[in-house]
Structure 1
Amino acid sequence: SKTAAYHYFDGREDLLTAVLDGVLDRLLHALGPWDPARDEEDFGARFAAGSAALAAHLRDHPEDLALADAAIGRSDGTPWLDWFDALVTDGRRLGMIRTDVDHALMVSATAAVIRAADAWAVALMTSGSLEGLPQGDPPHQLWTLLRGLWGAAAAAPGQEPNGAH
């Protein structure tokens, strides 16, 4: 009842926060923790496995699918960004992610690219348009975007690229 709900929550905003925190917790659980990879191939495989697990969760839980973007966007970012911090740290350790960009900026940029790709994929899943794409296309497109973001450092005008990753 409404009265019982107000016994546990201070109002609508508190209730909404609890619901979205629950969605975010389930998304992070489906994604799983980022464990350091052995090499670049293992990194890609771990990333693909996490993405596939998250996509499967969203497919099987339409209630989380409907609230996923709101849950990620509303959060203060800490648990979500912690996952991306671990990913970027590991990618840099492996030499896959450039080091000429501030670590916190790279974490935020990586999370933003993935959030944009997630919103795109969620819209496709919700509309049923995902079925018309080639098998594996959304993960491939995301990987292409990330590799561009993470790639070798750009040379300053008049300088040669240093080949740093």
Structure 2
Amino acid sequence: MKHFSLFLAFLLFNSCQYFEKQVPSEKELLQKELKSINWKEVDEYPSVVDCEKIGNKQKRRECFFEIMAQLIQEKLDIDSLSILYPELDTIQVKVTVFPDATMKFEPQFSKDSVAYDTIKIDSILHARLVDFPKVNPAIKRGIPVKTQFILPVILKAKE
């Protein structure tokens, strides 16, 4: 029995080499990790204070979009866009939220926008779309990242 235990121990120590695996290099691991990341999705969407308490990721995103669209509409309601361009009922606004929590707004005009003075509309938007509440940037793997999205803003006619 003693010889059998020694033989078994000898076999056990020598068989470890069969279980060794090739360790991948840092570059291989990095490339594998980079390929596994979905770069089109963020872990957390941009947010404002009113939406922070919502736990569901999708509902928090919807809350943020609704509040931003509402704020943009309120800021544009006090202007004469709807009087100058009564046929213009909706403007697509591209909103960029930068990692440092600053925002940039750019109107997106359709191909038939030759009927509008796009430069004048752009200047009105840049003049009105200021002084927004603090926006927390989107988060990807714990790091603030830049995000862009397009919001349809409905212009209400003045009565």
Q: TM-score range by the shorter chain?
A: under 0.3
Task: Give me the TM-score of the superposition, normalised by structure 2.
Answer: 0.26
Task: Give me the TM-score of the superposition, normalised by structure 1.
Answer: 0.26
Higher relative contact order (CA 8 A, sep 6+): 2
**Of the two, which has the highest radius of gyration?**
2
